[in-house]
Structure 1
Amino acid sequence: MNDSPRASAEHSDDAAANPLRDARDRRLPLISGPGSMVMFGVTGDLARKKLLPAIYDLTHRGLLPPSFGLVGFGRRDWSHDDFAEYVRESVIADARTEFSEPVFEQLRGGLRFVQGAFDDRAAFEELTRVVSELDASRGTGGNHAFYLSIPPAAFPQVCEQLAGSGLNTPRDGSWRRVVIEKPFGHDLASARELNDVVEQVFNPEDVFRIDHYLGKETVQNILALRFSNQLFEPIWNANYVDHVQITMAEDIGIGSRAGYYDGIGTARDVIQNHLLQLLALTAMEEPVSFRAADLRAEKEKVLAAVELPQDLAAHTARGQYVGGWQGGQEVVSYLEEDGIPADSTTETFAAMRLDIATRRWAGVPFYLRAGKRLGRRVTEIAVVFKRAPFLPFRSTDTADLGQNAIVVRVQPDEGVTMRFGSKVPGTQMEVRDVSMDFAYGTNFTEESPEAYERLILDMMLGDPPLFPRQREVELSWQILDPITQFWAEHMPPAPYRPGTWGPDTAHEMIARDGRSWRRP
């Protein structure tokens, strides 16, 4: 661990408790102070489609200072102007806000590019010079973030170069931060190794782990839904809840991600991070405050209380899509995708039952499922309630009545649906399910920001509640590792057709408990 001043700690938990911040006019957004970002992997898909447009959108909304600097680092033989044109093209193609020449020219003034490879010491010396030049010409104040949008295997080399050039060490009154993207390792051991590498160079509070799902408006709304309303929290427990389903479905295949995806699979790709974070937010106790330490503590308690089913064969499922028709188009099987070995056993669908050993959730199963080439693109959390203990109706009156549910729609139609029984108009007493729907798009005039906008701004502000810390990462791997190990030894993936909701084994898994999957 280096001995650099932990300047950013002043901007993390303490910032959330700052009385001036708490007393501010809530109509006024927080605006980042002086600083710059150095982006490694700036020519990759993530940077081009998400990160660069998000930085422009923040600039357009006035949430980054006019002096903000952005340094791209890559192998391409680009001048600063070449890089600026690349950023312009990315912004025009994928930014959420409309393109404005004056806004882009403001951003363009802080754009720089450094050519080099990760093992090129001279390139990092040039990067040091460029960062110093931004301090002098743009007034970035020695505040610099390093975004590692690169494979985890490259982290050690980049971190070593940053330390060797002194870029990781802030001067008094400034900060240096590092942002790392998932995957945070591929199992518990590799996650710990990765963390050791990063924390040898940066202090723990200066490490921001991006899980972009935590930046989504509806994910944050879980906290508002639960803890700002007396309506929900009294029934948010085992006395009333029958089970919880968390679904992340995609209707596409792996596309061009074969190099990353094969050998990783759905469970490691999205369940270990996205879905377990959604589980933690759904099941956590009310935090003392929304400061990072308090919020993370409650999430960690939930993850530590998760229990795996004793019979993994009966209560987990694994699948791999085959070829067929979806949406009127013929699609190939996973094994026929470009770059996938013909004998690959990587799963494209995963499902599991998890239990939480706490008084609030004892006996309430949490069912998680995720996959590609499923019926539609949707991410949702469905809290399904127990049936009323007594129904003073004839059985025919309630034949079409299901279980009450609260469904948080994370994407694409962000909102919340409540499902309950209501009488059908007419002379007979007939009760059917009806839905009461809240949709962000129709209830608020302001469009929800992209997740990366929120997360990049929070990182620049040094505000860490939405960023999982290492303890959460390790607890998630402790949950998943026994399952993936069992699968590797005993459970090859079962086939499923595109456009369906996974293999038969997934439906059999939940049917053993007398339940069925929702069809979103």
Structure 2
Amino acid sequence: MDDLLTDSSKPTPAAKLVVFGATGDLVSKRLMRDSMVYLAEHDQLQPGANDVVLVGAREQDGRAYLDAFNRGDAESTPLSPPGLEKFAALTGLEAPGAKVAGLDVTNPSAFKSLLAKIGTSSALYYAALPPSLYPAFLAGIKSSGLAEQNGNFRRVLLEKPFGTDAASARALQAQIERDFEPGQVMLVDHFLAYPGTLDVIGMRSDPALNQALSKKYVDKVEVKLLETIRSNDRPYFRHTGIVKDMIQSHAMQLLATVAADLGPISELTEERFREARTRLTQSLELDHKNVQHGQFVGFNDPAQGAPVGAEPSHAETFARFNLKVHTRRWEGVPFVLTAAKGVDQNRFGVDVHLRELPPALAERLGVPAQTKAVLAADISPTRLELTLDDGRHFKLQLDQRVNDEEPPHARLLRDAMLGETGLFVDAAGAVKDWDVVEEFERDAGRMLAYAPGTSADQIGSTNPTRG
């Protein structure tokens, strides 16, 4: 348990970091950009031990890349000059004539060009690629010899989504099981490394709070991923919609973190935590009676942010459905997943509706056990509090908290190099996520329309009943 909640106490082992998709937005402007610079600035990537090899679809001048990397765009976080300087040194791109490597991942023989850069050292291959390219990417890593460990480690990180549907996810799972050693390929969902998600894990170590998380005390659980941003300017979102973008992995993993049966907390290990989430995910069943989706009015209007000349998109910007959890701990309790863009607030979090409190928790708070309450856990920004039905709020304090300043991908990169698997996703769990998504798509009926700025609670129905 302590390993899951500690931040940077263990040194990063010597290993090269090879980043595929280095010229894409995720790496050059978004989450990976901030995380790599953070690790460099805090000396968790060391020159000579943790050199960074950047690989894009096309070769690019090194200094031009670093200039663009530093600028980012309107949504990028400003980088610290010391961190950027250290990161640039790790890449070697400031040297005259240095290039970002260009590589066609659909050409297996192209991967052999990286062998000289990697040598015999340990390596972590991070792939921020379209999921349709993952089969070719994995085949290239395997056939080129880049996966050969020879006494060191060679690990692969695949960014979400894992596949494009249930069939492709199953095919990827089979390919990984055939061509790679167990644990050699790790699936990323950065929501698992948010400090607030780690607070949920810490909450599970509190006996009274963990006891509250069961059908004995809970009426319903709500997982909410709500954003004011509209995302109708993003080609990927216009193609996938909110269910595949936000629910297929993010919401499902957050649900599993809250609901998984972790066993004795004192015996919880990284591997057991990951396996417990997978078991929970595989117990899920879609409740076909309450499946809703919608799109905000003006999604395809350039005046509302849509690209000029773009094809009209029917991608949903709102989705809500209920899941049944078929475990002894949760049987009969509805789990309501809601995701929405263009609504009136930003919130990534979970509300656990308690019809009464465990005696130990009631005694701690000095209230009757029959008190109704909502246990709210927000993952970014972090919030953990209990609100009683009379309006009183209790902020909950945890014995252990992680470093709020560490970006999620920084934690995941370190964990991957250390071989710590607790905050990664099993392929079997990702496949089950896709099964639920495809059931949702078959059941979803009329598209609801809502005005931008509407409260998500005012869209559709929000009143599930216990089974």
1:476 aligns with 2:433: yes
- Of the candidates 219, 225, 240, which is equivalent to residue 242 of structure 1? 219
* Displacement of 1:242: 1.4
Structure 2 contact 334–465 (Cα < 8 Å) conserved = no
- Structure 2 residue 23 is the aligned partner of structure 1 residue 38: no
Q: Distance in 2 between matches of 1:180 and 1:339?
A: 33
- Separation of aligned partners in 1, 2:7 and 2:170: 41
Give the deviation of 1:459 after TM superposition: 0.9
Q: Encode CA deviations 1:165-216: one digit per residue, 9 max, x unaligned.
A: 222222x211111111111123221211223344444324111111010011
Cα distance, 1:131 vs structure 2: 2.3
1:425 alignment partner in structure 2: none
Deviation at 1:361, TM superposition (A): 1.7
Q: 1:308 to 1:339 in 2, by over 3 A?
A: farther
Q: Residue 435 of structure 1 aligns with which residue?
A: 393
The aligned residue for residue 511 of structure 1 is 463
**1:217 and 2:195 matched:** yes
Measured in 2, the distance between the counterparts of 1:358 and 1:62 equals: 44
**Letter matched to residue 127 of structure 2:** L
Larger radius of gyration: 1
**Which stretches in structure 2 are left out of the alignment for 5+ residues?**
358-370
Could you tell me how far apart the structure 2 residues matched to 1:122 and 1:80 are?
24
**Contact 2:122 2:152 (C-alpha < 8 Å) held by counterparts:** yes
Assess if the C-alpha contact under 8 Å between 2:353 and 2:373 holds in 1. yes
Letter in 2 for 1:341: E
Decide whether aligned partners of structure 1 residues 403 and 333 sit closer, same or farther in structure 2, where only a CA change above 3 A counts: farther
* Residue 27 to residue 150, structure 1, CA distance change in 2 (3 Å): closer
Q: How does 1:306-455 map to 2 (within 5 A)?
A: 306-309=284-287, 312=288, 314-323=289-298, 332=303, 337-338=307-308, 340-342=310-312, 344-386=313-355, 403-411=372-380, 413-420=381-388, 432-437=390-395, 447-455=404-412
Q: Specify the alignment match of 2:51 in structure 1.
A: 69
* Residue ranges of structure 1 left out of the alignment (5+ in a row): 1-15, 133-140, 325-329, 389-401, 422-431, 515-520
Alignment check: 8 A CA contact 1:306 1:355 kept: yes
How far apart are 1:355 and its partner, in Å? 1.9
2:279 & 2:436 partners in 1: Cα distance?
13
What secondary structure is seen at the aligned counterpart in 2 of 1:184? coil
Query: Which one of 181, 190, 200 corresponds to residue 203 of structure 1?
Result: 181
Secondary structure of the residue aligned to 1:367 is strand
1:270 aligns with 2:251: no
Name the SS for the 1:315 alignment partner: strand
**SS of the residue aligned with 1:500?**
coil
Kindly indicate whether the alpha-carbon contact (under 8 Å) linking 2:19 and 2:55 is maintained by their aligned counterparts in 1. Answer: yes
Q: Figure out how many residues of one structure are paired with residues of the other and give that number.
A: 442
8 A Cα contact 2:7 2:402, kept in partner: no
What is the distance in 1 between the residues matched to 2:17 and 2:87?
A: 16
Query: Which residue does 1:424 correspond to in 2?
Result: none
User: Do the aligned partners of residues 415 and 160 (structure 1) sit closer, same or farther apart at CA in structure 2, a change above 3 Å counting?
Assistant: same
Q: Distance in 1 between matches of 2:54 and 2:7?
A: 34
**Could you tell me how far apart the structure 2 residues matched to 1:160 and 1:27 are?**
34
Q: Is the 8 A contact 2:108 2:139 kept in 1?
A: no
- Aligned position for 1:55: 36
Amino acid across the alignment from 2:452:
P
| Closer, same or farther: CA 109–444 of 1 in aligned 2, 3 Å | same
CA drift at 1:113: 2.6
Aligned-residue offset at 1:512: 6.0
Q: Distance in 2 between matches of 1:184 and 1:218?
A: 24
Distance 1:95 1:292, change over 3 A: farther
Q: Give CA-to-partner distance per residue, 1:302-328, whole Å, 9 cap, x none.
A: 22322322xx2x41211111139xxxx
> In 1, distance between residues paired with 2:90 and 2:191?
27
1:107 correspondence with 2:87 = no
Identity %, equivalent residues? 24
Match of 2:446 in 1: 492
Sort the Cα spacing of 1:186 and 1:102 in 2 relative to 1 into closer, same or farther, 3 A.
Answer: closer
**1:99 and 1:304 mapped to 2: Cα distance?**
45
Shift of 1:78: 2.6
Change (3 A) 1:358 1:196: closer
1:466-498 deviation per Cα after TM superposition (whole angstroms, max 9, x unaligned): 1011111122223332121222xxx13111111
Instruction: Work out whether residues 34 and 407 of structure 2, in 8 Å CA contact, stay in contact via their aligned partners in 1.
Output: no
Checking the alignment, whether the CA contact within 8 Å between 1:156 and 1:198 is kept in structure 2 is no
Tell me how far apart the structure 2 counterparts of residues 101 and 299 of structure 1 sit (CA, whole Å). Answer: 36
**Pair 1:481–1:75, CA change in 2 (3 A):** closer
The 10-residue stretch of structure 1 (269-278 or 160-169) with the greater mean CA deviation from structure 2: 160-169
- 2:255 aligned with 1:287: no
Question: How large is the RMSD of aligned CA atoms in angstroms?
Answer: 3.3
- Deviation sequence 1:407-428 (CA, Å, 0-9, x none): 00112x312121125xxxxxxx
Deviations along 1:380-429, whole A, 9 cap, x unmatched? 111111169xxxxxxxxxxxxx9411100112x312121125xxxxxxxx
Q: 1:157 to 1:299 in 2, by over 3 A?
A: closer
Distance 1:499 1:117 in 2: 43
Corresponding residue number in structure 1 for 2:136:
157
1:405-455 deviation line (CA, Å, top 9, x unaligned): 1100112x312121125xxxxxxxxxx312123599xx9895431111101
Contact 1:80 1:113 in 2 (8 A): yes
Change (3 A) 1:174 1:90: farther
245, 261, 273: which one aligns with 2:237: 261
Give yes or no for contact 1:54–1:95 (8 Å, CA) kept in 2: no
1:76-114 Cα distance to aligned partner (Å, 9 max, x none): 443444444444445996366563576346434488631
Residues 378 and 512 of structure 1, relative CA distance in 2, 3 Å threshold: closer
Q: Which one-letter code corresponds to 1:297 in the other structure?
A: E
In 1, the alpha carbon distance for the partners of 2:58 and 2:200 equals: 43
> For the residues of structure 1 that align with 2:328 and 2:18, how far apart are their CA atoms?
46
User: How does 1:17-32 map onto structure 2 within 5 Å?
Assistant: 29-32=9-12
